[in-house]
Each structure stands twice: as C-alpha cells, then as structure tokens.
Amino acid sequence: MNGIGGRTIAEAMENLSLSEYRLWLKYRRRYGGLNPIVRTEWGAALVASVIANVNRGKNTPPFKLADFAPHIKTAPISLEEAMHTWA
C-alpha cells in the first residue's frame, strides 16, 4: 500500500480499519495482487489460452490459463485426480 493515497505503509497500518482490511483481503483472494507485471502476464495468458482453445483439435484437451502463465498458480488437485490423469 506504499504510495497509495499519499500514505506510507506505517500510516496505512495505523489508519486502516478492520472492515477495510477485510475488504482488501477479499479483493486480493478474488482478483490477486496489484502487481502490474502479474496482471500483464494474466492478460496475455488469457488471450493466448482463448486463441489456443479456438484453434485446438477435437481430440486435444482444452488449454488452461496456467498453461501460458507459469507464475499463476492453479488449485491443487487430489491424489486420486492426479492418478487418474497419469494413468
């Protein structure tokens, strides 16, 4: 939050209410951080995955966003799901 609204991190920590903090947490869980590089990577990966899915063959599994963005983490899968995909 450094520099947002002209405040330092220390000032923001002093003035940020608990409800506003919870709103920020909810936002970050849903949309990720405010890092412009990660947001650019996400946007480029979204375009790449859409183009790849439009042009993929019928027998090719659909591409995911994480296939084109190595820094974007996907939700972990269970051991059973992993074994099913490996077999």
51, amino acid identity = I
- When divided into structural domains, the chain yields a total of 2
Same domain, 63 and 74: yes
Full-model pTM: 0.53
Any residues with CB less than 8 A from the CB of 67 and at least 6 apart, and which? 45, 49, 52
Q: What is the pLDDT of residue 8?
A: 76
> Is residue 1 very low, low, confident or very high in pLDDT (cuts 50, 70, 90)?
very low
Same domain, 79 and 42: yes
Same domain, 24 and 40: no
Q: Give the 3-state secondary structure of residue 61.
A: coil
Same domain, 28 and 43: no
Same domain, 44 and 86: yes
Distances (CA, A) of 51 to 12, 47, 62, 64: 42, 6, 11, 11
Same domain, 46 and 63: yes
Tokens of 2: 């450094």
Q: Which one is predicted more confidently, 25 or 85?
A: 25
Give tens-digit pLDDT for 26-79. 888 877 777 788 888 889 999 999 999 999 999 999 998 889 988 777 666 777
Distance, in Å, from the CA atom of 66 to the CA atom of 52, rounded to the nearest integer, reads: 13
> Is residue 6 very low, low, confident or very high in pLDDT (cuts 50, 70, 90)?
low
| Residue-number span of the structural domain to which 82 is assigned | 35-87
Same domain, 54 and 80: yes
